[in-house]
Amino acid sequence: MISRRFFLRGAAVLGCSAAAHPLMSTVTLAATPGDRRLVVIILRGAMDGLDIVQPYGDPLLAQMRPDLGVGPQNGALDLDGFFALHPAMAGLMPLWSKGELAFTHAVSTPYRDKRSHFDGQDMLEAGTGMDVPVSMIRDGWLNRLLQSMPGARAETAYSVGADEMPVLAGAAPAMAWAPDAWLNLSGQGRALLEHIYHDDALFREAAAEAMTITDTQAAEALVAQQMAAPMAGGTMVTPGMQATGAGAVQKADALAQFAASRLREDTRIAAFSLNGWDTHRGQAGAIRGPATRLASMILTLQQELGAAWGKTLVLAMTEFGRTARQNGSRGTDHGTGGAMVMAGGALRGGRVYGRWPGLAEADLYAGRDLMPTADIRAYAGWALAGMFGADRALLERAIFPGLDLGDDPKFLL
C-alpha cells in the first residue's frame, strides 16, 4: 500500500494543489451505539472561509479583495447583516432558514506558520497540538472516540479513491473500498455478478453501488475526453476544466449517497473528503467548483437520510484558512484562521458561531491572516460530547490530547 503522504510527495510536480487533487477522496464509516449520526467532511486544500462565509460587514474585506466579489452586491447571500454565503452555495439557504445550517468563523487547528497541506491535514485528522509530533500519532480522533465507547464497533472503513482517512485510522478495525478501480464489466459479466450475489443482501447492494459509482466515473471521463478535443479556433479545453461540471457534482453526490445508505442502517459515523480548495490563482472561478460540490453533498445527505437527518450533524473542516488579502494572481495563499461549515437536524443553526477578530492590520495573525479566536478541535469535541456523550476529561486527555474545550458553544439541540 502506498501511503497518502508518499503518493502526494511523489506527485509534487503537479504543484501545490496535489494535496487537493480530485482523485484523492475517501469515505470511511463506523457503527456506534445510539441513534445520532455524525458526518465529518475533510475539505482538502485549505478552504477560504473568508470567501465561503464572507464578513462583508467588515469594510476592510472588500478593500483587501477587490477582485474576489465580496458581499450581496456581488451575488453573495446575506445571512445576518454581517456575514454572507458564497453564491455557489445558495442552495443551502433553505437549511439556514430552518436552523439546519450554521458556521463557525475564525477557527483553526493549533498548526501555525509552516502552511504545509500535508502537515496541516495530518494535524487536523490526528486531533493533536503542536506539542505532539504528528509522526508519533498512530490513530485519528474519531478512531480514539470509538476505542473509548463500550459496545462501539467499526463496521466498515471505505476508502473511495487513492486517499486515506487518518481521522478514523487506528485500533478500531477498518476496511477499504476503491470505486476508482473501474469494473468495466460487460453486460454478461454484470449479469453473472448479479446472479452470484442475488441471495446475499450485503454484497448484492455493495456491488450495485460500486457499479453505479463507476458508471458515473465512466460518463465523467467520456465527457472530459470529448472536452479535451481541439475546438474551433484552436482552443484546447482540458479535463481539469471540468471541476465545476455536472460530472464532478454527480460523483460527489454518489459518495454522499453511499455514506447515507450506511447511515440509514447501523452506521453512526461517516467521514469523507472533498478536494479542490487550493485557490492560489483566479479564486473567483476556482472556488465555485468545490463550493458547489460541498453544497450538493450536504443537500444529498439531507435528502437521502430522510427522518435520520433530524439526528445528524455534519462538520466540514479544513486544514487551515487563507490570507486575508488577495495575491497578485487574484487568488489567496495559505493562511491560518478559517471557517467550519455545520449542517443537520441535530444542529442549532441559523447563526455564525465564534468571536470575530476583525481585519485591521493589528488584528491579523502575522499581519496577513485571519486571527484564530477558537480551536476547531473544541467544536469537534463538543460535537462528540453532545452526540455520543463523550466525557470532557476523556476528550481533553485522550481524544484531543492537550485541548482545553473551553465553554460549550451550545450549537447542538
Average pLDDT over residues 72-85: 98
Q: Is pLDDT larger for residue 204 or for residue 331?
A: 331
**Alpha-carbon gap, residue 60 to 294, rounded angstroms:** 27
**Alpha-carbon gap, residue 80 to 231, rounded angstroms:** 45
Q: What is the pLDDT of residues 303-327, one digit of tens each?
A: 999 999 999 999 999 999 999 999 9
The predicted structure's pLDDT at residue 255:
84
Average pLDDT over residues 316-340: 98
Average pLDDT over residues 202-217: 59
**Helices then strands, each counted (H, E), the chain:** 13, 12
Q: Mention every residue, 6+ apart, whose C-beta is less than 8 A from residue 135.
A: none
Kindly provide the residue ranges of all beta strands, DSSP E only, lying in 3-89, ordered along the sequence: 27-31, 37-43, 53-54, 77-78, 84-85
Q: What is the pLDDT of residues 216-240, one digit of tens each?
A: 444 444 444 433 443 333 332 333 3
Evaluate if residue 5 carries a pLDDT over 70.
no
Residue type, 197: Y
End-to-end CA separation in angstroms for the chain: 42
Q: What is the pLDDT of residues 392-405, one digit of tens each?
A: 999 999 999 999 99
The predicted structure's pLDDT at residue 4:
40
Contact (CB, 8 A) for 242 and 248: yes
Sheet of strand 53-54, all strands in order from the earlier edge strand to the far edge: 53-54, 84-85, 77-78
Average pLDDT over residues 287-301: 97
pTM above 0.85, yes or no: no
**Alpha-carbon gap, residue 72 to 257, rounded angstroms:** 32
The predicted structure's pLDDT at residue 339:
98
Question: Given pLDDT bands bounded at 50, 70 and 90, which one contains residue 209?
Answer: low
115-119, 172-176, 242-246, 315-319 — which one is most confidently predicted on average? 315-319
The predicted structure's pLDDT at residue 103:
98
- Give the pairing type, strands 267-274 and 37-43: parallel
234-248, 270-284, 359-373 — which one is most confidently predicted on average? 359-373
**Alpha-carbon gap, residue 168 to 157, rounded angstroms:** 8
Which backbone phi and psi does 54 adopt, to 5 degrees? -80, 120
Q: What is the pLDDT of residues 254-266, one digit of tens each?
A: 888 888 888 898 8
